[in-house]
A and B are shown apart, each in its own frame.
Chain A
Amino acid sequence: MADTAASFSRSFAQQPWGLWRRQAARLTLIEVRRNLFSWKASWIYFLAFIPTLLIFLHALIDRHFVEGISDDTNVLAGIVEFYYVRLGIFFGCLGIFSRLIRGEMIERSLHFYLLSPVRREILLLSKFAAGSISALLLFETAMLANIALMYGPFGAAGRDYVFHGPGLGQSEAYLVIIPLACLGYGAVFLLLSMMFKNPTPAAMLVLGWEAINPVLPSVLQKISVASYLRHLMPVNIPGEGIFALLTVETEPVSGWAACLGLLMLIAVVLTYSCYRIRRLEIRYTTE
């Protein structure tokens, strides 16, 4: 047992980590350059910044009294829970991450990466990192702008709420929820794009799964991105009508456990994705 552990440790240390790091950094740079600064990504900008635009119009048009802060806080929480987590980040990540592998197969350019001296696992994880950076840059920037535009018009009261009041914890929670959502959905869509020629129908099933997940048994709730994020929401929004399904009270889970659970789910999905990419074949004629 000790020999096996020592052998594993030696083998681990002998791996070319420096080379892998350089390759991963270069691949990530190439992918970010292609993902973030392309016209094809413009609809994802739209998804990220449409609430920002609406909040901006609200800031310009509506009057802002101190008593309105709690209403705007609920609106912001609703935007994060119902728009970003359920739709904006969901479809944004579908666009970003499904293009990383499947898009390259459709464009018949994936073979260039598979013919480079880069382990396929490094390729996949670099692409995931690039997709995550793109999604994070867009959605975190949008979220920061949303917070600024939502509370800025309240003047000193708004600043006090954000920097010294409950707004600080809420903002921190949102700035954690957004990346986790990007990573979670990103990992799922990266895998789906390797499993299906057209990942969109599968993504619609995931959307449905995420919607009904709160009423499923707690074991099944662990296979859902939104269910983990729900436990991190700093503000509870009373749901009405169809939204009630999304806000069902479930077994309480601590923030740390939810974060760890989601990160473990991401790790499992990425591990399986690495297994899939090892066996990926280039057959463009069947795409």
Chain B
Amino acid sequence: MSDHAATPDRIQFENVSKFYGEVLGVNKVTLSIPPGVTTLVGPNGSGKTTLMNLMTGLVQPSSGTISVLGLFPGNATEFFRAVGYCTQFDSFPRGLSGWQFVFDSLMLHGMDKMDAFRLTVEALDRVQLGDAAGRPIASYSKGMRQKIRLAQAIAHHPRVLILDEPLNGLDPMARAESLTLFEELGRQGMHLVISSHILDEVDRISDRVVLITGGYLIAEGNIQQVRQEVRDKPMQVLIRCDHPELLASRMFSINHCVEARLHADGQGVFLRTGDIDQFYSMLNGIAAEGLIKINAVAPADDDANAIYQYLIGSDGSAS
């Protein structure tokens, strides 16, 4: 095992492949995930869940090595004290109430009852499921089941939280609450690895994206960096100004500006450019002339959804 594979503050994949018989799960993935919120993005069957299952030892790599903060799933006692995994399997051990589910999980850490009790209350409060905790999980709605899984995954205060489609089944309010919780956990220095189809929402809290399709890692890193690396797709910029038509015509005079579209409210223009550096340089010149008053400039397609569309080819929100 290389030293690189056991870095104590990162999740490391070293040339990891996983085959299910003859079916490819993931192929030669090398990845290093720092603290913060990392979103796994990819269509169904792309290998996102396989990556998460590999991280936690639910499946074992056909080749390569994986370590999480320098720990390996084979050492379950240490490993699962540091890691919480909220899977997308919507099933639970039979006959348990929400309370028992979280409490029993904590007791398996070897805690005494008082500590397990306190952490159970805390986790249930965090997911706002305290009132329903005494009911059997079998009677829960899909959203409540999602919440109780999340409560169980965070109850022991893990340093790494892996969340497979954690927003599935949640209503908009619960989604917003969950995202706030994830954001807060990310800010606290925790590693959060999230896979989600609801890219617009997770994009807001993600520090990094990992794009995967067909079992192959196609891009990873900070969202803006990844977007800039997609050089064959012109970048789109929204410019808020008082004369958008004039600005569009001026910008079209340079050959790297390939598309202009007026904003629906008439107070801005979307411009696509193949050379963002020259684009901003020219825009500065126009602003300095003073003929057009520029109010705001913002990239319009450097989110996870746009990157997904460019690199994978369909709308991430719909997949």
B residues contacting the other copy or chain, number (CB 8 A): 29
Residue from A108, A120, A286 in contact with B89 in the complex, judged by beta carbons closer than 8 Å: A108
Cβ of A116 and Cβ of B59 under 8 Å apart?
no
Q: In this assembly, does B34 line the interface, its C-beta being within 8 Å of a C-beta of chain A?
A: no
CA distance A278 to B92 in the complex (A): 22
Cβ of B87 and Cβ of A117 under 8 Å apart?
no
- Shortest beta-carbon distance from A18 to chain B in Å: 8
User: Can you give 29 A-B contacts (C-beta < 8 A)?
Assistant: A16-B77, A23-B110, A26-B107, A26-B108, A30-B93, A33-B95, A34-B93, A38-B95, A104-B93, A107-B91, A107-B93, A107-B94, A109-B89, A109-B92, A111-B89, A112-B105, A114-B57, A114-B58, A115-B58, A115-B85, A115-B87, A116-B108, A117-B79, A117-B110, A118-B76, A118-B80, A119-B77, A278-B74, A282-B58
Q: A34-B94, A281-B59 are in contact. Are A119 and B104 (CB under 8 A)?
A: no
- Residues from chain B with a CB closer than 8 A to the CB of A26 are 104, 107-108
Cβ of A112 and Cβ of B58 under 8 Å apart?
no
Cβ of A115 and Cβ of B93 under 8 Å apart?
no
Q: A111-B58, A281-B60, A283-B20 are in contact. Are A116 and B105 (CB under 8 A)?
A: yes
| Residues of B105-160 contacting chain A, CB below 8 A | 105, 107-110, 152
Q: In this assembly, does B53 line the interface, its C-beta being within 8 Å of a C-beta of chain A?
A: yes
CA distance A111 to B104 in the complex (A): 14
Q: In this assembly, does A270 line the interface, its C-beta being within 8 Å of a C-beta of chain B?
A: no
Q: In this assembly, does A22 line the interface, its C-beta being within 8 Å of a C-beta of chain B?
A: yes
Cβ of B76 and Cβ of A30 under 8 Å apart?
no
- Shortest beta-carbon distance from A50 to chain B in Å: 26
- Residues from chain A with a CB closer than 8 A to the CB of B78 are 117
Q: A22-B110, A30-B104 are in contact. Are A116 and B91 (CB under 8 A)?
A: no
- Shortest beta-carbon distance from A277 to chain B in Å: 11
Q: Identify the closest chain B residue to A25 (Cβ).
A: B107
CA distance A34 to B85 in the complex (A): 24
Cβ of B108 and Cβ of A279 under 8 Å apart?
no
- Residues from chain A with a CB closer than 8 A to the CB of B58 are 111, 114-115, 281-282
Interface centre among A38, A107, A115, A281 (most CB of B within 10 A): A115
- Residues from chain B with a CB closer than 8 A to the CB of A109 are 89, 91-94
Question: 6 new A-B pairs (CB below 8 Å) besides A23-B108, A109-B91, A282-B53?
Answer: A23-B110, A26-B104, A30-B93, A33-B95, A109-B92, A117-B110
Cβ of B85 and Cβ of A283 under 8 Å apart?
no
Q: How would residues 239 to 263 of chain B score, 1 for a CB under 8 Å from any chain A CB and 0 otherwise?
A: 0000000000000000000000000
Cβ of B108 and Cβ of A27 under 8 Å apart?
yes
Cβ of B76 and Cβ of A120 under 8 Å apart?
yes
- Shortest beta-carbon distance from B318 to chain A in Å: 23
Q: In this assembly, does B206 line the interface, its C-beta being within 8 Å of a C-beta of chain A?
A: no
CA distance A107 to B91 in the complex (A): 7
Q: How would residues 259 to 287 of chain A score, 1 for a CB under 8 Å from any chain B CB and 0 otherwise?
A: 00000000000000000001101111010
- Residues from chain B with a CB closer than 8 A to the CB of A30 are 93, 104
Cβ of A118 and Cβ of B60 under 8 Å apart?
no
Cβ of A115 and Cβ of B110 under 8 Å apart?
no
- Residues from chain A with a CB closer than 8 A to the CB of B60 are 279, 281
Q: A111-B58, A115-B58 are in contact. Are A284 and B80 (CB under 8 A)?
A: no
- Residues from chain A with a CB closer than 8 A to the CB of B80 are 115-118
- Shortest beta-carbon distance from A140 to chain B in Å: 25
Q: In this assembly, does A19 line the interface, its C-beta being within 8 Å of a C-beta of chain B?
A: yes
CA distance A2 to B249 in the complex (A): 88
The 9 closest A-B pairs by CB, nearest first: A117-B80, A108-B91, A282-B58, A116-B108, A19-B110, A281-B59, A109-B93, A26-B107, A22-B110
- Residues from chain B with a CB closer than 8 A to the CB of A116 are 76, 80, 105, 108-109
Cβ of A282 and Cβ of B77 under 8 Å apart?
no
- Residues from chain B with a CB closer than 8 A to the CB of A33 are 95
Q: How would residues 66 to 96 of chain B score, 1 for a CB under 8 Å from any chain A CB and 0 otherwise?
A: 0000000010111111000101010111110
Q: In this assembly, does B56 line the interface, its C-beta being within 8 Å of a C-beta of chain A?
A: yes
CA distance A109 to B89 in the complex (A): 8
Q: How would residues 14 to 49 of chain A score, 1 for a CB under 8 Å from any chain B CB and 0 otherwise?
A: 001001001100110010011000100000000000
- Residues from chain B with a CB closer than 8 A to the CB of A107 are 91, 93-94
- Shortest beta-carbon distance from A31 to chain B in Å: 9
CA distance A281 to B54 in the complex (A): 10
Interface centre among A111, A117, A279 (most CB of B within 10 A): A117
Interface centre among B80, B85, B91, B95 (most CB of A within 10 A): B91
Q: Identify the closest chain A residue to B111 (Cβ).
A: A22
Interface centre among B53, B56, B95, B110 (most CB of A within 10 A): B110
- Residues from chain A with a CB closer than 8 A to the CB of B109 are 116-117
- Residues from chain A with a CB closer than 8 A to the CB of B104 are 26, 30
CA distance A104 to B77 in the complex (A): 21
- Residues from chain A with a CB closer than 8 A to the CB of B20 are 283, 286
- Shortest beta-carbon distance from B266 to chain A in Å: 52
- Shortest beta-carbon distance from A246 to chain B in Å: 37
- Residues from chain A with a CB closer than 8 A to the CB of B79 are 117
Cβ of A282 and Cβ of B59 under 8 Å apart?
yes
CA distance A286 to B108 in the complex (A): 28
- Residues from chain A with a CB closer than 8 A to the CB of B110 are 19, 22-23, 117
- Residues from chain A with a CB closer than 8 A to the CB of B74 are 278
Cβ of B95 and Cβ of A111 under 8 Å apart?
no
- Shortest beta-carbon distance from A41 to chain B in Å: 11
CA distance A116 to B78 in the complex (A): 10
CA distance A286 to B59 in the complex (A): 13
